[in-house]
Structure 1
Amino acid sequence: MATVQDLLDRKGADIVSIGSSATVVEAARLMNARGVGGLVVVDAPGQLLGIFTERDILRRVVAPGLDAAKVRIAEVLTTKVITCLPGTSVEECGAIMSSRRIRHLPVADDSGLKGLVTSGDVLAYRVAESEATIEYMNAYMFDIR
């Protein structure tokens, strides 16, 4: 059974992060430049403070009519962050995301932040797994060698 660590090994554990003193505009520009929908918010030593996502921009900045150029990430980030361990199964990771209605799940252990898994990562894994199963079944059923 594949684990979250397997996903990180496959996609890379590059963590796109931002400090809590940055503005929402700075965060949005970083997300756009890096092609991501969420940022890990860290303090100076790199400890996890929270997460900031596209949904946060919509719900906590745009909808209330706040000025994204003036609002600091510290004011609008999600601080009650749900995380998982590197050894968490991909299936459990997907179930956590589905039940909690989240699309970004930081991966951490006692030594700190290891990466960020997205719902897209889980979906890509499941698609690849399904394709491999289909190929295996076709080879078995039709004796393709």
Structure 2
Amino acid sequence: MPTAREVLKNKGSHVFSIGPQATAHEAALLMNEHKIGCLVVLDGGCIVGIFTERDMLRRVVARRLDPADALVGDVMTREVVCCQPDATLDDARSVIMHRRIRHLPVVDDRGRLNGLISIGDLNAWQITGQEIEIQYLHEYIHGRV
């Protein structure tokens, strides 16, 4: 069964982050620049939150806050759901689905950030696995194995 560690090994472990004292405007510019949907909020190397496109819409735009004044620490999601590197992709998908989130930080036993898995990463992994299985079955049916 594939794990979060395998996905990170394949896609890389770089995670874009921001501090809680940055503004929502700075966060939006960073997300736009890198074409990403979230930033992990780190304070002293520890995860203290996550700032997503959804946070921007619900907690900044809908409340008519000025993004240049709103601090990430005030509008971020504080309850960050994480998984460990050995978590199976089925478990990660279940957490993402049931918690209705799109990004799942991967942390080790010490709470250090190892990477980030998105719903898109899980879908891509699943599709690749299915394509391999289809190719194998096709070759089996046609006697090429």
User: TM bucket by the smaller chain?
Assistant: over 0.9
Equivalent residue pairs, number: 144
* TM-score, normalization by structure 2: 0.96
Counterpart of 1:113, as a letter, is: L
RMSD over aligned CA atoms reads 0.9
Distance 2:40 2:121 in 1: 16
1:41-52 paired onto structure 2 within 5 Å: 41-43=41-43, 45-52=44-51
Alpha-carbon contact 2:23-2:67 (below 8 Å) kept: yes
Aligned to 2:99: 100
Q: Matched residues in 2 for 1:56 and 1:90: separation?
A: 26
Instruction: Kindly report structure 1 stretches of 4+ aligned residues shifted beyond 2 Å.
Output: none
SS in 1 for 2:50: strand
2:66 alignment partner in structure 1: 67
Distance 2:32 2:143 in 1: 47
Match in the other structure for 1:56 = 55
SS in 2 for 1:139: helix
- TM-score, normalised with respect to structure 1: 0.96
Q: Deviations over 1:95-128 (max 9, x none)?
A: 1101110000011122311111100000000000
Report the Cα distance in structure 2 between the residues aligned to 1:31 and 1:121, rounded to whole angstroms: 18
Q: Percent identity?
A: 44
Structure 1 equivalent of residue 136 of structure 2: 136
Deviations, residues 77-112 of structure 1 (Å, cap 9, x unaligned): 111111000000011101110111000001112231
Matched residue, 2:26: 26
Shift of 1:34: 1.2
Partner SS, residue 115 of structure 2: strand
Amino acid at match of 2:95: I
Q: Secondary structure at the match of 1:8?
A: helix
Distance 2:48 2:77 in 1: 9
Inter-partner Cα distance in structure 1 for 2:28 and 2:96 = 23
2:35 aligns with: 35
